[in-house]
Amino acid sequence: MALVKLKNVGTEPFVGIWDNEEYIIDPDPKGESFIIVDEKIAKRWLGNWDAKTKEDKLLEAKRIKMYTRKDPKPEWDIKIEKVVEKQRKKDFKKVTPPPIDINPLVTPPTEEEFADLKEIEKPKKSGKKKDKAVSKS
């Protein structure tokens, strides 16, 4: 991922839309009129210049042709220049803790050892019970 500078050295303004916002680059043969956008936005407008296979390049050309179908031969000429290369966060590998050696001489606790704790943790019940009297009339 990177930021790229797009310059229009053609004769017609370039108009690109991204996220409901319109980006316009006025024509300027000297290249002084420019915008800086994310590389993925530029690739959306101008095609993926990193496509490797012929099939991918043909698909990109077809997509760009559909993108510019209102004006099949635009008079803008965009020059692309990378400005900032964004650093990706390092992928941290999951570290598994070393296995714990269990001493065979140590025995795990049994339920009887904690029986007194269970008695303490039990909720106390009130000793009074409410009887419902049923009367026959």
Each residue's pLDDT tens digit, 87-116: 666 666 777 888 888 787 877 766 676 677
The residue that leads in pLDDT, 12 or 88, is 12
H/E stretch holding 80 reads: strand 78-85
pTM of the model: 0.53
Q: Where are the domains of the chain?
A: 2-84
Number of residues in the chain: 137
- CA distances (Å), 41 to each of 4, 17, 24, in order? 9, 9, 13
If phi > 0 it is left, if psi is from -120 to 50 it is alpha, else beta; for residue 20 that is: left
Helix, strand and coil content of the chain, in percent to the nearest 5, comes to 25, 20, 55
- According to DSSP, the β-strands at 21-25 and 14-18 are antiparallel
pLDDT at 130 over 60: no
Residue 128 is predicted with a pLDDT of 59
Burial per residue of 40-56, b for 16 or more beta-carbon CB atoms within 10 angstroms, e otherwise: ebbbbbbbbeeeeeeee
